[in-house]
Structures are given as C-alpha cells and as structure tokens.
Amino acid sequence: MQEKNRTLGEFIIENQEDFQYSSGELSRIFNSIKLASKVVSYKVNKAGLVDIVGAVGAKNIQGEDQQKLDVYANEIFIQTLTNREIVCGIASEENDDFITIKGKDNGNNNKYVILIDPLDGSSNIDVNVSVGTIFSVYRRISPVGNPVQLEDFLQPGTAQVAAGYVIYGTSTMLVYTTGQGVNGFTLNPAIGTFYLSHPKMKCPKDGLIYSVNEGNYIHFPQGVKDYIKYCQQEEEDRPYSSRYIGSLASDIHRNLIKGGVYLYPTSCKAVKGKLRLLYECNPMAFIIEQAGGKASDGVNRVLEIIPTSLHERTAFFSGSYNMVEKIEDCIHKAYLAARV
C-alpha cells in the first residue's frame, strides 16, 4: 500500500505498538477524536449560514467570552469521548473542573485521561479564519477501577503518551504524535475519511517567520523585545517575516511545515503568560519536539514543567530549534544585564 493512500485508521492499527501499554485504546481514542472533529468541521464550514457564530454571552473559567462554537465543540468532544467510555476522565479548557467518567460499579477500568482545547482561536471564526482543536493523552497514575483524580491530569508533558491538533481551514487536517515522530492526515469530505498527507513531518532547524502579537510589544520583557528587534534587523538572512494568525494550532502548523517560531511571552498584562500549559503548550511542545523543533518558556523546557493546577498558564516559545535557542539567549542576556 502506498504510504499516502493509508487512512488514519489503517495507520494507527499498523503502528499500534508505538502506543505503550495499549491493547486497542489508541484506535478507540483516535476514532472518537476523528468522529468529533468531523462533526465540528461540518459546523465550522457552515458558519455564516446557520446561527453558530458570535458569543453566547457567558465567560469560561479563563474569564474569556465564550463563542457559540466553543460551547458546541466542547459538548461534541465530551459527549463523544464519554459515550464510548474509552477514557476515565476528561479535562477541557472550557470547564472549571475535570469530568469523571464512571463505568460499572461507579468505577472505571480505563487507563487514560484526555485534556482538550475544543476550539482554539475561536474568536477568528466570525471572520472565516482557521481555527483548531488541541488534545493531549496521559496514562492515569491513580489506581485503575477507582474514580479519576486531579493528580491524573497534573502530570508533566514528558508523561504524555499522545498529543495532536486538528485544523479547520481550507481543508481539515489532523496531526498527531505518540512519541514516534509526527504525521498529518487530511480529511476527504466527500467520503469522511482522513488520509495520510504529511508523513514523518519535520520542523526545519531554522526559519524565516516569527509569530507574535506585536501589539503587546510595549508590555513584553526586555529579552523578548531584543529578539523581536533581532528579527527585524537588516542582515543577510533577515529581516524575518512577521506572520500571526491568532490561532495557536494554525500558527504552529505553518511554522512546523515552513520553519519559524511562535512567541507568547509573559507581559505586564499577563505576568504568568496567557496560554494554558496543559491544554495548549504541552501537546504542542510534544509535537514540535517530535518533529525536531524546540519548546521553551524562555528558560525551561516546557515538557518538564510540573503543573500545579488545571488551568495553569505559562510563557511559550516554540518552533524551529535554532530560533528558540536564540530567544533563550536574548532572554538570558537581558536577565544578566538587568543584574548589573
């Protein structure tokens, strides 16, 4: 079978051994994710034709205005994963607390939990810009058969057994890793099947794109300002191009393919950063590292951060390895200069 003719289901079955400890869970988890993503993709493509655009008038746990599609996508993913009873717990960016999935005798013998950002970049949906879904899978650490515990979700990113994202754009694409490289699958909407379109994805070591909301420049730490100035300097390989979509999945996806770096630093307005460690940064860091890139909070490897709460935030720099190294260097030099 030619590599690019393989469906997502066929690919997962062929690579089942990559999912440590699994006895079929990988296929079942991904079957649920791809089903929910196809439903969300269908709704996203109808935006503007039906009443699913705009805010619902409520705020989520993050204090952000919830969009109608935020609520819809959240319900679809939770319902799909819950009905199939393939995980013992779900944590969503849109919910205050994690969801315990009970099986027989009010226990649950499933071994995995999933964390999810159901609709990343949803504020872009009104203007027909790509949005996405980000997910992360962990093996539970509490005893199997008992209700899931908070500790099952508060694991470092190094403990992830799978992570991925779905982009709803000109085409719908699912990208994932189980720690054995990164592969991308594109949905054929005519038959509802994901096909392998981007095998063995690799992030270039260097790139010519930097992605950051420069409107917040004045609020950034000095080291980040220094890096942005570096990107803008007239040199043989610079200035770099500034490209910022405002949807993490989309920005990361572009830089993963073309080479580039994504920056979301701390600021005077967000002293701990804005992106969520568990729902956004860890899964994206896992993917980027598996593709040969690097992910950092400016000082530390993102995947080694020990989380203390479900909705913890962090600074995030991710993309081409050498570009993230340069950011860390700028931050370190600014730190040393401030101590003099």
Q: Which residues carry a binding-site annotation for substrate?
A: 120-123, 213, 244, 262-264, 274
CA dist 218 to 18, 266, 269, Å? 45, 12, 10
Helix (H) or strand (E) holding 161: strand 160-168
Measure the CA–CA gap between 240 and 214, rounded to whole angstroms.
14
**Residue stretches of the annotated binding site:** 93, 117, 119-123, 213, 244, 262-264, 274, 280
**Residue stretches of the annotated binding site for Mg(2+):** 93, 117, 119-120, 280
Measure the CA–CA gap between 271 and 273, rounded to whole angstroms.
6
What are the residues whose beta carbons fall under 8 Å from the beta carbon of 58, sequence distance 6 or more?
Answer: 65, 66
Give the bridge partners for 174, in sequence order.
Answer: 166, 185
Dihedral sign, Cα of residue 80, residue 157, residue 291, residue 168? positive
- Quick check: 261 and 207 in contact, CB under 8 A? yes
The CB density around residue 164, as the number of other CB atoms within 10 Å, is 26
